[in-house]
Structure 1
Amino acid sequence: MRALLRHVRDSVEQLSPGYFSMVMATGILSLAAHLMGVPLLANALFALNWVLFVIIGVLALLHVYWHPKLVREDLFDHLRAPGFFTFVAACSILGSQSLLLGGSLRLATLLGGIGLLTWVGFTYTIFTVLTVKQNKPGLDRGINGGWLLAVVATQSMAVLAALISNHMPQPLRLEMNFFALSMWLWGGMLYIWMMSLIFYRYTFFAFSPADLSPPYWINMGAMAISTLAGSLLILNTPHAPYLNSMLPFIKGFTVFYWATGTWWIPMLVALAIWRHGVRQFPFTYDPMYWGAVFPLGMYAVSTLRMMEAMNLPFLGKLPHAMFAIGMTAWVLLFIGQLRALRRHWAASSRA
């Protein structure tokens, strides 16, 4: 028993704060399957996602308990600190699954409450710490696409609030939609701030293949989830008169977010080809690749919702194509995760 505990303790020592991106990726693909009328796959991924959420949650708590110094170092690190926001997004997406697939308003509200509390805690802790710390990296070493997880977490709260509002009586429904609107607007402003720095880093600093880490796909994912939140606000217009007065603005920015996210897709593909094809950077399993699967599923869901909210049938099979790509990437990564776990346990047993 002691040997097992020691092994678990050693295993969680280097646990990434961004590991909840696995829950994000699984959850959004489940919701995409639900919207596309594939209930068996949607429910299977929903059940799996609860298992993943509990396992990763327990491991994260053990990491905090056994290695508090490492957790503190992660919070002070410019590249690793934004990974904590994956927990907020995981709560919101699992809450959305619980509402739409499980039919449980109570669970969705509970997960939303936990997500909101941690969003407040992480937002003001991380950005305060990164502001006041004395030793800071240069922009070329201190920022990447992972910073946009703060945007994803913010917009995920807007999405869940917009979904929950449909099950609430007035005036709580009005208040929930106003909260969703406020988070949607703040998330958009945060994206503009951060994306300006990321784009500047892209174009004016030397870029190596190692710098192009998987979290750069969040460049697109942050816009996709912003599109989803805007689409849900449009659909909620009949329940909140103030949304109706802002409808042209909301529709315009929803398309703006979708168009920006769409622009990123060929760019990210081209950079991936440059990284692995031109520069021959080795393609090996990395847990951070889950942060690249999530945007694919989110793009499919957000496009479907935007088509519904704005009557855009000419977008046709685009979300289905992105869903197929996302599911393929998810399967490959899940196999890679199982193989990595088997190698890790085998190496520990020999030790």
Structure 2
Amino acid sequence: MMTPTLLGKRMVAQLFDMSPAYFGMAMATGIVSLAAQRLDMPRIAMALFGLNIAIYGVLWVLTALRLTYYPRQFFADMIDHLRGPGFFTMVAASSILGSQFVVLIADYRAGAVLWGAAIVLWIGLTYTIFTAFTIKQKKPTLDKGISGGWLLAVVATQSIAALSALLAAHIGQPYKLELNFFALSMWLWGGMLYIWMMSLIFYRYTFFLFSPGDLSPPYWINMGAMAISTLAGSLLIINAPDAPFLLSLVPFLKGFTVFYWTTGTWWIPMLLILALWRHVYKRFPLRYDPLYWGAVFPLGMYAASTHEMISALEFNFLGFLPPVFLYVALIAWTAAFFGFVSDLLRRCLPPPPPTT
């Protein structure tokens, strides 16, 4: 039997290589909850909301412990080309949990606190990570240094835009205009960032050797980044009557929101084909990885964003899509959660004694 002291040491040791992208679990749980709320599944939405508060809190405790026990590895991850962008899940998780507080229980104060935390994290991580990538002396080649995980920077940016728009819809002047302008600015910057990064990622796709191991789950963020851009754009369209400068931009907002949605939709068959190539044709093993939360998140976000776009643009003929993707997201979330529990037990419990 393992004593509490040995168990604690074993758990602390596991923090050494804890993925910086583990906040993707809170991102995925939060957006599936929000999609369930929008699609009239309040019990599921509230259950996942309560769970997400716990997940978010525990992840911050684990992050603080990792920083305390392994500061060198923590900061080395931050400036690593493959692991560094995973830190942006902290921003997106904060914004999405803030959106849950706003949408599910109308707690605007908690939403504003998380909005502020997300902005502080976004500023710190954006200028730390990308400055480090720029000035570091030893850099990987493009095929070894970039992945779909880089688009988490886009997701983080757009998550702040979406939460800003949600808060703007529920506060009075003089801050309503400022929040809507801030949401618009972040939405536009997120779109530009996607264009920059996606150009490099697509170039890496098509001009470098691609092995099954290279197709990590964060490549689903290719779609997820466009889905959350669609959500933020839809919220801005809904807010337009209360902000004159948005009202003048409505044709532009509608055009780019549809542009984002169609781009995200294009990625879905492509990613499914590549997943079949990876796991069926190439027989790459399918086992739990914390990065799989980065594949659950886009499914839930596509359901939520499509529903919001239908409301904003009255595209009622697309009404069949959100429920389908919500059910797929719930199945994927359940599979990832059971994988997480199994992996946690395997890591924390002692191995069985050898049979004689």
Please indicate, yes or no, whether the TM-score normalized by the shorter chain is above 0.5. Answer: yes
Aligned match of 1:177 in 176, 180, 191? 180
Normalising by the residue count of structure 2, what TM-score does the alignment of the two structures yield? Answer: 0.97
Q: Contact conserved, 1:95 with 1:108, CA < 8 A, in 2?
A: yes
**Residues of 2 paired with 1:170 and 1:179: CA distance?**
14
Normalising by the residue count of structure 1, what TM-score does the alignment of the two structures yield? Answer: 0.98
Q: Contact conserved, 2:7 with 2:348, CA < 8 A, in 1?
A: no
Aligned match of 1:236 in 236, 239, 243? 239
1:87 is matched with which residue? 90
Give identity over the alignment, percent.
58
Q: 1:301 offset after TM fit, Å?
A: 0.3
Aligned match of 1:65 in 68, 90, 99? 68
Q: Please tell me the root mean square deviation across aligned C-alpha atoms, in Å.
A: 1.2
Q: Deviations over 1:208-232 (max 9, x none)?
A: 0000000000000000000000000
Which amino acid letter does the alignment assign opposite residue 311 of structure 1?
E
1:277 is matched with which residue? 280
1:158 is matched with which residue? 161
Q: 1:141 offset after TM fit, Å?
A: 0.3
Structure 2 residue matching 1:168: 3-state secondary structure: coil
**Residues of 2 paired with 1:5 and 1:324: CA distance?**
38
**Residues of 2 paired with 1:11 and 1:72: CA distance?**
17
Q: Contact conserved, 2:101 with 2:107, CA < 8 A, in 1?
A: yes
**Residues of 2 paired with 1:229 and 1:71: CA distance?**
31
Which amino acid letter does the alignment assign opposite residue 217 of structure 1?
W
Which amino acid letter does the alignment assign opposite residue 350 of structure 2?
A
Q: 1:346 offset after TM fit, Å?
A: 2.1
**Residues of 2 paired with 1:191 and 1:222: CA distance?**
8
Q: Deviations over 1:79-129 (max 9, x none)?
A: 000000000000000000011112211100000100100000000000000
Equivalent residue pairs, number: 351
**Residues of 1 paired with 2:100 and 2:75: CA distance?**
31
Q: Contact conserved, 2:230 with 2:305, CA < 8 A, in 1?
A: yes
Q: Contact conserved, 2:307 with 2:319, CA < 8 A, in 1?
A: no
**Residues of 2 paired with 1:340 and 1:271: CA distance?**
25
Judged with a 3 Å threshold, the aligned counterparts in structure 2 of structure 1 residues 163 and 278 are, in CA distance, closer, same or farther, namely same
2:101 is matched with which residue? 98
Which amino acid letter does the alignment assign opposite residue 137 of structure 2?
Q
**Residues of 1 paired with 2:239 and 2:169: CA distance?**
8
Aligned match of 2:290 in 278, 287, 290? 287
Q: 1:349 offset after TM fit, Å?
A: 8.7
Which amino acid letter does the alignment assign opposite residue 132 of structure 1?
I
Q: 1:6 offset after TM fit, Å?
A: 1.7
Aligned match of 1:194 in 194, 197, 218? 197
1:120 is matched with which residue? 123
Q: 1:12 offset after TM fit, Å?
A: 1.2
Aligned match of 1:222 in 221, 225, 229? 225
Which amino acid letter does the alignment assign opposite residue 26 of structure 2?
V
Structure 1 gaps of 5+ residues are none
1:23 is matched with which residue? 26
Q: Deviations over 1:13-67 (max 9, x none)?
A: 1111000000000000000000001110000000000010111110011001110
Structure 2 gaps of 5+ residues are none
Q: Does 1:247 align with 2:250?
A: yes
Q: Contact conserved, 1:94 with 1:111, CA < 8 A, in 2?
A: yes
Q: 1:4 offset after TM fit, Å?
A: 3.9
**Residues of 1 paired with 2:240 and 2:107: CA distance?**
23
Which amino acid letter does the alignment assign opposite residue 130 of structure 1?
F
